[in-house]
Amino acid sequence: MRLKILSVGDAVLRQPARPLTPEEVRSTETQQLIRHMRETLNDAPGVGLAAPQIGLALQLAVIEDKEEYFVNATAEQVAERERRPVAFHVVVNPVLRLRSEPALEFFEGCLSVPGFMAIVPRARHVQVDCLDQNGSPRAIDASGWYARILQHEIDHLQGVLYLDRMYSRSFCTLDNHTRFWKTRTIQQAREALGI
């Protein structure tokens, strides 16, 4: 079942979400929610979806970055972003620790801010302690694009959108991103935009 994804302006996207107990995670309702969120993520398509994006103020997000999502990128772009496929998984009650400064800059979009992108600085390396989809503790060490996805989704659970972290001068429509910036380096975009 595809769920409705809320857009920026909806209050639930700006509220900190509540944690879940391991028992709640294992419940039939939460397991069904996870299945529906996965279907919604695949239909969108996207690489991450947090419960607040579907109107539920819960500390739960689903993540999956399929190779088919970056098959049209050049080898240089994939290497620069340190992008590798990430298998489907769930993070519940995540605690994020940055292992590097937020200095890695790339254009980023969001299913709740449809049709737009902006350059967002993120940490290259992160560690996340959380519960998995079975309510069991899990520790994740991530780098590159996977680290970016985790930071983006965990921000959602705190009521933060990439709009709060972006370089506002880089904010553009998806069409203009494709037209002007998709084939340029971030340094070229920064220089052209005066960032």
> Cα–Cα distance between 115 and 82 in angstroms, integer?
24
The reply to whether 67 belongs to the active site is no
- 50 occurs within a structural domain: yes
The model's pLDDT over 146-188, given as tens digits with 9 standing for 90+, comes to: 999 999 999 999 999 999 999 999 999 999 999 999 888 899 9
- 182 occurs within a structural domain: yes
Looking up residue 58, the CATH number of its domain turns out to be 3.90.45.10
Mean pLDDT across 98-107: 92
Q: Would you state the pLDDT for residue 22?
A: 98
Q: Would you state the pLDDT for residue 72?
A: 87
Q: Which residue has the higher pLDDT, 87 or 184?
A: 87
Residue 54: helix, strand or coil by DSSP?
Answer: helix
- 2 occurs within a structural domain: no
Q: Would you state the pLDDT for residue 156?
A: 98
The model's pLDDT over 39-83, given as tens digits with 9 standing for 90+, comes to: 999 999 999 999 999 999 999 999 999 999 998 888 988 999 999
Task: Categorize the per-residue pLDDT at 108 as very low, low, confident or very high, splitting at 50, 70 and 90.
Answer: very high
Mean pLDDT across 99-125: 95
- 6 occurs within a structural domain: no
- 1 occurs within a structural domain: no
- 46 occurs within a structural domain: yes
- 49 occurs within a structural domain: yes
Q: Give the residue ranges of DSSP H helices in the chain.
A: 22-26, 28-43, 75-81, 144-157, 174-176, 186-193
Q: Would you state the pLDDT for residue 74?
A: 87
Domain count, the chain: 1
Model pTM score: 0.96
Q: What percentage of the chain exceeds 70 in pLDDT?
A: 100
pLDDT greater than 90 at residue 1: no
- Cα torsion for 134, 140, 146, 147, to the nearest 10°? 130
Q: Would you state the pLDDT for residue 111?
A: 98
Q: Would you state the pLDDT for residue 102?
A: 84
Of 64, 105, 108, 153, the active-site residue reads 153
Q: Would you state the pLDDT for residue 158?
A: 98
Task: Categorize the per-residue pLDDT at 136 as very low, low, confident or very high, splitting at 50, 70 and 90.
Answer: very high
Q: Would you state the pLDDT for residue 103?
A: 87
Q: What percentage of the chain exceeds 90 in pLDDT?
A: 90
Q: Are strands 116-122 and 48-50 parallel, antiparallel or unpaired?
A: unpaired
Mean pLDDT across 131-153: 98
Domain of residue 164 covers: 11-193
- 5 occurs within a structural domain: no
